[in-house]
Amino acid sequence: MEFFQPSSLREALELRAAHPDAVPIAGGTDLMVELNFGRRRPATILDISRLSELQQIGREGDRVVLGPGVPYARIIRELPDQLALVQAARTVGSPQIRNRGTVGGNLGTASPAGDALPALAVYDAEVVLASTSGSRRLSWREFLVGPKRNALAPDELIVSVEWTAPRGPGSFSKVGTRNAMVIAIAGMGLQLDESSRSLRLAMGSVGPTILRAPEAEAFGAGVLDEAGAWSNPGAAVPATALARFGELAAAAARPIDDVRGTAAYRRHACAVLARRALAWALDDRRLRAA
């Protein structure tokens, strides 16, 4: 096996152009599992784990620019206001995995169970890709094209993930067979956006890729409108509306039966997670306003 260890992004992109079959490795927490189980045996590996250009966290006004090589442990420490992503990062694996694993790797693997991905979807994040011939910017939706499939070309690397920091509460929650070190049976990201008086809901592990729930989103925003809750966080939102929000989330899921759970259980989990996530967001707003 050939192994390249570039010391700059430019060198990495040149190597990528010259060896399009080379598989990039960042934290290695997905790739090494594949190698160890003999599921993959790439002829060439491109180690991008030492590239400082991919390990920056930047804020440009209200834009967040996250290097794909930033490990989850740093996201938890350094982006505390991006709560949906922080909560997702906290649920990834164990401390060891969070020290190595990266959002770039989560995007690269493009599993529907990738925990960072629903958070990126509720931020409407963009994925920036670069090659020696330039760069392009894709929405998370354009990038994640199917189960374990993404839009990365053989000569490209993910060079940043960017979004506008939302104003309002957000969360990530998941259901698994135990409380930690678990692949999600269902994962839920929710983000309220006070500026546009809208909310965004994204689900993982309940479809071929990450799914948003547009009907639930419109219904949820409308419920806050009717209750006057956008301008008055103390306004009561009826429990029946929260339950309906959950039902609409479940209706947007496209789950399958697999070894981790049945489709019916996953739908039920979506309803419960979405209802709880909205209730938490409303509580959060009430507490902040009190």
Ligand X SMILES: Cc1cc2nc3c(=O)[nH]c(=O)nc-3n(C[C@H](O)[C@H](O)[C@H](O)COP(=O)(O)OP(=O)(O)OC[C@H]3O[C@@H](n4cnc5c(N)ncnc54)[C@H](O)[C@@H]3O)c2cc1C
- The first and second tokens of residue 33, run together, are 């599992």
Q: What does the alpha-carbon distance between residue 65 and residue 160 come to, in Å, rounded to a whole number?
A: 6
Q: Which of 66, 85, 86, 92 binds ligand X (CB under 6 A)?
A: 92
Q: Which is nearer to ligand X, 24 or 255 (CB)?
A: 24
55 binds ligand X (CB under 6 A): no
**Beta strand segments in 170-286, E:** 170-175, 186-193, 198-204, 211-212
Output the smallest distance, CB 175 to ligand X, in A.
12
115 binds ligand X (CB under 6 A): yes
**In the range 163-192, which residues lie near ligand X by CB under 6 A?**
181
> Quick one: which H or E segment has residue 161?
strand 157-164
Q: Which is nearer to ligand X, 87 or 106 (CB)?
A: 106
Bridge partners (DSSP) of residue 149 are 146
Contact 162, 65 (CB under 8 A): yes
Bridge partners (DSSP) of residue 35 are none
30 binds ligand X (CB under 6 A): yes
Q: What does the alpha-carbon distance between residue 70 and residue 195 come to, in Å, rounded to a whole number?
A: 28
CA angle 186, 254, 29 (to 5 degrees): 45
125 binds ligand X (CB under 6 A): no
Q: Which of 104, 189, 233, 261 binds ligand X (CB under 6 A)?
A: 104
Residue span binding ligand X (CB under 6 A) among the ranges 103-111, 225-233, 238-246, 248-256? 103-111
Residue span binding ligand X (CB under 6 A) among the ranges 77-85, 97-105, 232-240, 282-290? 97-105
Output the smallest distance, CB 101 to ligand X, in A.
3
Residue span binding ligand X (CB under 6 A) among the ranges 79-87, 96-104, 214-222, 258-266? 96-104
Q: Which is nearer to ligand X, 26 or 122 (CB)?
A: 26
Contact 247, 220 (CB under 8 A): no
Distances (CA, A) of 49 to 27, 29, 52, 53, 285: 6, 12, 8, 10, 39
Output the smallest distance, CB 263 to ligand X, in A.
21
Q: What are phi and psi of 3, to 5 degrees?
A: -130, 120
Four-residue CA torsion sign, 88, 93, 95, 97: negative
Q: Which of 9, 23, 256, 263 binds ligand X (CB under 6 A)?
A: 23
Output the smallest distance, CB 57 to ligand X, in A.
15
100 binds ligand X (CB under 6 A): yes
Q: Which residues are at the interface with ligand X (CB under 6 A)? A: 23-31, 33, 48, 54, 68, 91-93, 97, 100-102, 104-106, 108-109, 114-115, 152, 157-158, 181
